[in-house]
């Protein structure tokens, strides 16, 4: 199937996907804890029958059971060397099901997360992960899949890696689906909007949601995606949420109920629909009978298309919307202190600049690492990681080198803006190709090898030439922002007039947004802020969309907001008032007013709250050198700081990356301080917890974070890892004289192993209390199986542990 054929299929009618695989195989006898791929190949008739039933029920696309067929997952069963045979035979099985069903249907190569975490949260590099996915993708292509289905992705960064891998292997259609929590965000804090913008710009042919919730809860998330979707959107909801029935985890929603809720998704605008956990061929059949013949009337003209995204947020660029500032500060040019820090490998000032510009009203942050004495590519990549930990604003990648821009775009888990692409022959086309590959927006700089255009007509010619070349390279017009090319008025008296004419031409004639490097206009003049501000108000009136400037300059920012207000732009009145309320003017410009969420206290405290892993140990050393006692640092700086991180996480102001960064910073500080403590420090006895992911479950992201948090709070934690049998858990609890046993599960098929542990404790009259957690469990489930406590996340685990030991 070609990508065009896929597009025609999914736009011509409502496409039906298949339903659950794992829960149906479990019902057919697949044991907990086995390798699903291996079991399927040993029981081919069961899988063959299931997929034929899906096709008969109306599924147009079935997923080959290669879900966890990547090298990392197979290695957990010692099967990594059989990756080619396993994936090839599984695809052949699905193709056989289609053939025996009259050739009706397509086979998708199914791929998912590896279970390893990407740097900087984990130890896996992006290129290592892409290679893992490319290996599986090549095998699936050779095996004859019709398209790819990348699913159940909790990390947008990992979803990008899988998509990049497939795109570098073949040009088959790719569907990508994310999994969201009850709060409407992924485990890593990504929103439906940021996911669809990022993935479609990178080349996904359809973007959707699977697993997550039941069909009804998925409707508002789908609607949010569709608002930004240039590609078809699809849904594969669970058959409701599991309930404990007669000691078994059961999905109780009937096919008729599933279908009625599924209709809501169709009405919301999905172009394809199927089922996930707990659904069966009967659910798909009932759904198809109810909504057959209905399809979304796709109106892509209403979709928001000029959009930048970070991993967790989006920023729309509109011709008539409010003016946007691209923060210019993270650039070593003319900044001696920043240059010194970068040469020393420190990003302390980079972090401060990211935070300050965010607080002062920037909408995008420009990142430039161009200076001598450093490896610019390496420092650009590190700066991106650092800035992502401090802000959710999208980034503007600024470099003179094509390879550095490409390396940054490949790494960045969002949709960035390239600053900029001129018409210089040696890099003009290469940069357009990079923009196309990674779906970035780009700034057109109307500058050629002949230098600055001297007249307005020359500027127009260069812009037209750029637009024609961009179209040839597949870069859509809506992805282009034009630089107004501001020269200094001190040397060129008509510089402002030329720039204003360019802005007006782009807005009114070309219907393109514009940007400028604002401070260029006043170079060499005294009291430059006056000239900059006057020009800015004139430019906004002519239609200037955004400017690269310092958002910390109060006069400039206030003038921009006031200009929007006077031009009656939508939302400008609220924006102006909000800024006046939130910010205060100082001698040096503007800064955020004090608020309850802002870090307060010592450098060590702020390091933990801000997740500054690279500086915390040095700040601990400095505090010790100033005479502070080790235990005082723990009691007065580290514990309050990690409590603050927990509060922000609980308030949904922080997400998994920030929680891990803060916990890791504290862990590094504790590791350094511990040998310096006298005896047992404060003398307080902390409890011992033995923790494990239960038998049959190989997921440990949440469990590992709980371990880190509990250790930071001074508990003795014995981590048994994942897929641990009940007897082994109890043996470890006895050996280490545990107070509490912590159990984690992410699968409905393994959550009952928690009950096994609780039952054994009661039967043997053992003294251990039990705390459970995981995406599929709930407080009511904890009560049903007799657990003593339930933790919804790592922050909550600390509170539950304290309560259990009180």
Per residue in 405-443, pLDDT (tens digit) is 999 999 999 999 999 999 999 999 999 999 999 999 999
| 421: nearest Cα among 400, 439, 390 | 400
Secondary structure of 202-237 in the HEC alphabet?
A: CCCCEEEEEECCCHHHHHHHHHHHHCCCCCCEEEEE
SS3 442: strand
Rounded CA-CA distance 241/252 in Å is 8
Examine the pLDDT at 27 and tell me if it is beyond 50.
Answer: yes
Tokens 């109810």 belong to 290
Rounded CA-CA distance 541/14 in Å is 46
Examine the pLDDT at 535 and tell me if it is beyond 70.
Answer: yes
pLDDT band at 601 (very low <50, low <70, confident <90, very high): confident
Rounded CA-CA distance 102/110 in Å is 22
Rounded CA-CA distance 18/62 in Å is 5
> Cis bond leading into 656, ω under 30°?
no
More confident residue, 593 or 377: 377
More confident residue, 22 or 709: 22
pLDDT band at 395 (very low <50, low <70, confident <90, very high): very high
pLDDT of residue 615: 82
- List, for residues 34-44, the tens digit of each pLDDT value: 899 999 999 99
| 773: nearest Cα among 793, 757, 755 | 793
- List, for residues 755-776, the tens digit of each pLDDT value: 999 999 999 999 999 999 987 7
Query: What's the whole-number mean pLDDT along residues 505-526?
Result: 96
pLDDT of residue 697: 77
pLDDT of residue 274: 96
| 272: nearest Cα among 63, 95, 114, 98 | 63
Q: Six-digit token pair at 257?
A: 């109920």
Examine the pLDDT at 710 and tell me if it is beyond 90.
Answer: no
SS3 384: helix
| 275: nearest Cα among 258, 260, 291 | 258
Tokens 């459970």 belong to 772
pLDDT of residue 293: 73
More confident residue, 584 or 427: 427
DSSP secondary structure code for residue 521 in this structure:
G
**What percent of the chain clears pLDDT 70, i.e. is strictly above it?**
95
Cβ atoms 694, 727 nearer than 8 A: no
Examine the pLDDT at 600 and tell me if it is beyond 70.
Answer: no
Examine the pLDDT at 281 and tell me if it is beyond 50.
Answer: yes
Query: What's the whole-number mean pLDDT along residues 734-760?
Result: 88
More confident residue, 557 or 657: 557
Please provide the average confidence, as pLDDT, over all residues in the chain: 91
Phi-psi domain of 550 (left: phi exceeds 0; alpha: psi -120 through 50; beta: other): beta
- List, for residues 231-272, the tens digit of each pLDDT value: 999 999 999 877 767 767 778 889 999 999 999 999 999 999
Query: What's the whole-number mean pLDDT along residues 368-391?
Result: 94
Q: Six-digit token pair at 403?
A: 């390879």
Query: What's the whole-number mean pLDDT along residues 22-39?
Result: 91
pLDDT band at 583 (very low <50, low <70, confident <90, very high): low
Query: What's the whole-number mean pLDDT along residues 784-799?
Result: 88
- List, for residues 52-106, the tens digit of each pLDDT value: 999 999 999 999 999 999 999 999 999 999 999 999 999 999 999 999 999 989 9
Rounded CA-CA distance 570/77 in Å is 57
Least trusted range by pLDDT, from 5-14, 447-456, 739-748:
739-748
How many other C-beta atoms lie within 10 A of the C-beta of residue 109?
A: 29
Examine the pLDDT at 189 and tell me if it is beyond 80.
Answer: yes
SS3 684: coil
Rounded CA-CA distance 179/209 in Å is 6
pLDDT band at 701 (very low <50, low <70, confident <90, very high): low
pLDDT of residue 682: 44
- List, for residues 128-163, the tens digit of each pLDDT value: 999 999 999 999 999 999 999 999 999 999 999 999
pLDDT of residue 711: 84
pLDDT of residue 320: 94
202 to 129, 196, 242, 318, 522: CA distances (angstroms): 17, 10, 35, 21, 39
pLDDT of residue 599: 53
| 218: nearest Cα among 133, 163, 277 | 277
Q: Six-digit token pair at 673?
A: 């301080």
Kind and range of the H or E element at 562? Answer: helix 554-566
pLDDT of residue 607: 87
Query: What's the whole-number mean pLDDT along residues 305-314?
Result: 96
More confident residue, 86 or 123: 86
More confident residue, 793 or 315: 315
pLDDT band at 469 (very low <50, low <70, confident <90, very high): very high
DSSP secondary structure code for residue 601 in this structure:
S
More confident residue, 597 or 37: 37
pLDDT of residue 745: 87
pLDDT of residue 683: 42
More confident residue, 476 or 248: 476
Query: What's the whole-number mean pLDDT along residues 716-735?
Result: 92
Least trusted range by pLDDT, from 28-42, 519-533, 639-653, 722-736:
639-653
Query: What's the whole-number mean pLDDT along residues 607-629?
Result: 87
Cβ atoms 718, 736 nearer than 8 A: yes
Rounded CA-CA distance 189/183 in Å is 9
More confident residue, 788 or 248: 788
pLDDT band at 585 (very low <50, low <70, confident <90, very high): low
pLDDT band at 594 (very low <50, low <70, confident <90, very high): low
Q: Six-digit token pair at 130?
A: 């892409």
Examine the pLDDT at 644 and tell me if it is beyond 90.
Answer: no
């Amino acid at each position: 199937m070609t990508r065009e054929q896929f597009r025609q299929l999914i736009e011509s009618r409502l496409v039906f996907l298949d339903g659950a695989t794992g829960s149906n195989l479990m019902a057919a006898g697949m044991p907990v804890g086995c390798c699903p791929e291996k079991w399927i190949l040993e029981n081919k008739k069961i899988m063959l029958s299931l997929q034929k039933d899906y096709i008969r029920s109306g599924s147009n696309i079935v997923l080959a059971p290669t879900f966890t067929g990547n090298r990392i997952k197979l290695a957990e069963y010692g099967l990594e060397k059989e990756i080619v045979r396993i994936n090839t035979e599984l695809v052949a099985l699905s193709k056989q099901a289609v053939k025996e069903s009259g050739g009706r249907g397509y086979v998708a190569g199914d791929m998912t997360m590896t279970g390893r975490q990407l740097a900087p949260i984990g130890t896996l590099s992006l290129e290592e992960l892409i290679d893992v996915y490319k290996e599986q993708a090549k095998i699936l292509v050779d095996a004859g899949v019709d398209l790819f289905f990348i699913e159940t992705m909790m990390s947008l960064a990992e979803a990008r890696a899988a998509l990049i891998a497939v795109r570098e292997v073949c040009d088959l259609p790719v569907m990508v689906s994310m999994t969201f929590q009850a709060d409407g965000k992924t485990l890593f804090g990504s929103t439906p909007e940021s996911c669809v913008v990022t993935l479609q710009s990178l080349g996904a042919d359809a973007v959707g949601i699977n697993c997550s919730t039941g069909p009804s809860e998925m409707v508002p998330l789908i609607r949010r995606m569709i608002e930004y979707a240039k590609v078809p959107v699809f849904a594969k909801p669970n058959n409701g949420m599991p309930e404990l029935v007669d000691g078994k985890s059961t999905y109780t929603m009937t096919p008729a109920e599933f279908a009625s809720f599924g209709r809501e998704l169709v009405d919301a605008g999905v172009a394809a629909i199927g089922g996930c956990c707990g659904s069966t061929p009967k659910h798909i059949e009932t759904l198809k009978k109810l909504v057959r013949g209905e399809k979304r009337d796709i109106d892509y003209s209403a979709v928001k298309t000029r959009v930048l995204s970070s991993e967790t947020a989006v920023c729309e660029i509109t011709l008539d919307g409010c003016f946007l500032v691209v923060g210019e500060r993270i650039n070593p040019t003319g900044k001696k202190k920043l240059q010194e820090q970068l040469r020393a490998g420190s990003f302390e000032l980079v972090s401060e600049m990211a935070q300050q510009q965010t607080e002062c009203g920037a909408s995008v942050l420009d990142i430039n690492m161009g200076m001598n004495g450093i490896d610019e590519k390496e420092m650009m990549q590190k700066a991106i990681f650092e800035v992502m930990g401090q802000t959710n604003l999208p980034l503007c990648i600024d470099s003179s080198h094509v390879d550095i821009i490409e390396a940054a775009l490949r790494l960045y888990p969002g949709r960035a803006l390239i600053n900029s692409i001129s018409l210089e022959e040696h890099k003009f086309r290469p940069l357009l190709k990079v923009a196309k590959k990674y779906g970035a927006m780009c700034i057109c700089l109307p500058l050629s090898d002949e230098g600055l255009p001297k007249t307005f007509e020359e500027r127009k010619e260069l812009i037209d030439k750029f637009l024609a070349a961009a179209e040839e390279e597949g870069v859509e017009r809506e992805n282009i922002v034009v630089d107004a090319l501001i020269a200094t008025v001190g040397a060129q008296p008509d510089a402002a007039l030329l720039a204003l004419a360019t802005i007006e031409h782009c807005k009114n004639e070309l219907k393109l947004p514009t940007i400028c490097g604002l401070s260029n206009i006043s170079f060499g003049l005294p009291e430059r802020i006056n000239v900059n501000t006057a020009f800015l108000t004139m430019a906004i009136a002519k239609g200037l969309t955004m400017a690269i400037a310092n958002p910390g300059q109060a006069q400039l920012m206030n003038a921009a907001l006031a200009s929007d207000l006077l031009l009656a732009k939508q939302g400008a009145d609220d924006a102006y008032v909000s800024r006046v309320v939130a910010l205060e003017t100082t001698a040096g410009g503007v800064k955020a007013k004090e608020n309850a969420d802002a870090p307060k206290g010592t450098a060590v405290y702020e390091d933990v709250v801000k997740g500054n892993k690279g500086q915390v140990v040095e700040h601990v050393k400095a505090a010790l050198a100033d005479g502070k006692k080790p235990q005082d640092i723990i009691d007065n700086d580290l514990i309050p700081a990690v409590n603050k991180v927990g509060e922000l996480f609980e308030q949904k102001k922080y997400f998994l990356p920030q929680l891990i960064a803060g916990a890791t910073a504290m862990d590094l500080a504790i590791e350094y301080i511990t040998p310096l403590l006298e005896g047992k420090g404060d003398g307080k006895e902390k409890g011992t917890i033995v923790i494990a992911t239960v038998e049959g479950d190989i997921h440990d992201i949440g469990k590992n974070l709980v371990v880190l948090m509990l250790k930071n709070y001074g508990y003795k934690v014995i981590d048994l890892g994942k897929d641990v049998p009940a007897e082994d858990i109890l043996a470890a609890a006895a050996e280490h004289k545990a107070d509490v046993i912590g159990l984690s599960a992410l699968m409905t098929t393994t959550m009952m192993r928690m009950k096994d542990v609780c039952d054994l404790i009661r039967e043997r009259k053992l003294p251990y209390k039990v705390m459970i957690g995981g995406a599929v469990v709930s407080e009511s489930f904890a009560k049903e199986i007799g657990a003593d406590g339930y933790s919804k996340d790592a922050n909550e685990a600390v509170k539950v542990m304290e309560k259990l030991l009180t």
